[in-house]
Amino acid sequence: MSYVDGFVLVVPKKKVKAYVAMAKKAAPIFREHGALEVRECCGDDLAVKMGVGFRKMAKAKAGETVFFSWITYKSRAQRDRVNAKIMKDPRMLAMCGPDDMPFDLSRMAYGGFEIVVRA
């Protein structure tokens, strides 16, 4: 089965365009290094009536939205190899400085997931 890195992050609405522009630059770099798929999803229907909604879980405030994103790999080992290359890629380093991020890194949730069901 494949492997997925998943992300949930809060982006100020006034910085959504900047985040999407950054993601559009980063996605092909991930693909070039071996990622199978990159998806960036901006919250649209977040006022849910069951469970805990993403806005509440992410502690999003007024004027902020939530992104749910994932990158798919062949395996965890392949993910580790791709991420090692990404961390050294000068294009990624140039766009990911602490002052350049259109969101607060301390509020980003991230983790690796083994896919156990694919339908």
93 phi and psi angles, rounded to 5 deg? -60, -35
**Domain boundary assignment for the chain:** 9-114
Q: Kindly report the pTM of this predicted structure.
A: 0.92
63-102 pLDDT tens trace = 999 999 999 999 999 999 999 999 999 999 998 777 778 9
pLDDT band at 12 (very low <50, low <70, confident <90, very high): very high
* Tokens representing residue 78 in the block: 């392949």
Q: Report, at the CATH architecture level, how domain 9-114 is classified.
A: 2-Layer Sandwich (3.30)
